[in-house]
Amino acid sequence: MTPQELASRLFFIVGCGRSGTTLLKSMLAAHPGVYLPPETFFYSSIRPRFPGGEQASSDQRLDYLCARWWMRDAGLNRARLEEQLTLAAGKLPAADWHTLFLATLSSLTPQGSWQAIGEKTPAHVLVAEELLEVFPDCRIIQVVRDPRAVLSSYRKVKVGTNEAVAVAREWLAATAVHQRLREHPRATLLHYEELVSDPEAVLRGLCAHLQIAWDPAMLAFHQRDEAGYAQEQAHHAATQRPLFQDRLEAWRDELPVQQLAILESRLGERLEDFGYQPSAGLPRVGALSLRLSHWRDQAHRLTVRRGRQYLKRRRALRRLAKPSGEEA
């Protein structure tokens, strides 16, 4: 499939981290006419961290893209990528990041009669408006989850923050985009809680949004043969189990009162704007508590998260360096 053909079938799954975007990806990927590669982090990590600047050559961008461990793990092939860029020549802007993104997805997409091709990187919510503008046929699926459950989820996995003030900042940024896109005809918003409680109804609605036929295979997403994520992304393992609703309110017993109070104090009316009721009887949060939460998050980022990312990269590179077929 050429980059131009892919652009006409393109959709994005976005939202705040730990909001159920991977679950939704797993469900949609179980549809026989839908393909989603592993997360590309294209607009959240690759484009903004590219050191070459806007005047860099196409070769420099290709070198940088193909060197990212997660792209290598996804099976990105330089020769195949260049072939896709050749197919786009004269029809899409050369050496353009958006053209390179389409060529990357085309390179990763296997042969097939795909009705829709998607990409799931939660942080792409921050460029959702740009994506709708540069890809005039694309669809955006936004996932929102109770931010208290988001915080509780973050505190149980070895990825991202574990502080209320940081989760509030991320959730507010994502929901600000959701609010601006509420009336956009090519954007739709779904609640994680509804997806878990009534998956068939939600998925039927998404099929209509993507203009594809409903297929019950999406409800058997957990029976897939391939994980759909790298070995180093074990925090997505729950998507290989059946749906369960008994955890929707688990945050009530899991979150420390002070973290809950900090979170809700930062969210303000936005919590109710998205249908979530504030907690009663929370202690007052002072400026010192907010500063301490911010400082703890910064310390965690510098001393824990950076180390985790470094070790994840090292493990992935060692695994990718092993001969094909050898145990990782």
Tens-digit pLDDT profile for the chain (328 aa)? 899 999 999 999 999 999 999 999 999 999 999 999 999 999 999 999 999 888 888 899 999 999 999 999 999 999 999 999 998 877 776 668 999 999 999 999 999 999 999 999 999 999 999 999 999 999 999 999 999 999 999 999 888 999 999 999 999 999 999 999 999 999 999 999 999 999 999 999 999 999 999 999 999 988 856 644 455 445 445 555 668 777 899 999 999 999 999 999 999 999 999 999 999 999 999 999 999 999 999 999 999 999 998 998 999 899 899 876 454 3
CB atoms within 10 A of CB 74: 17
| Conformation bin of residue 286: beta by default, left when phi > 0, alpha when psi is -120 to 50 | beta
Interatomic CA distance for residues 112 and 298, integer angstroms: 46
Tell me: domain 3-37+109-321, CATH 3.40.190.10, correct? no
Q: What is the pLDDT of residue 93?
A: 66
Q: What is the pLDDT of residue 235?
A: 45
Q: What is the pLDDT of residue 241?
A: 66
pLDDT in tens, 156-210: 988 899 999 999 999 999 999 999 999 999 999 999 999 999 999 999 999 999 9
Structure tokens at 279: 């907690």
Q: What is the pLDDT of residue 236?
A: 46
Q: What is the pLDDT of residue 245?
A: 78
Domain ranges in the chain?
3-37+109-321
List, as own/partner pairs, every contact residues 227-232 make where C-beta atoms lie below 8 angstroms and the sequence separation is at least 24, other chains included: 228/25, 228/26, 228/29, 228/36, 228/38, 229/22, 229/38, 229/39, 230/38, 230/70, 230/73, 230/316, 231/315, 231/316, 231/319, 231/328, 232/312, 232/315, 232/316
List beta partners, residue 118.
Answer: 11
Q: What is the pLDDT of residue 231?
A: 56
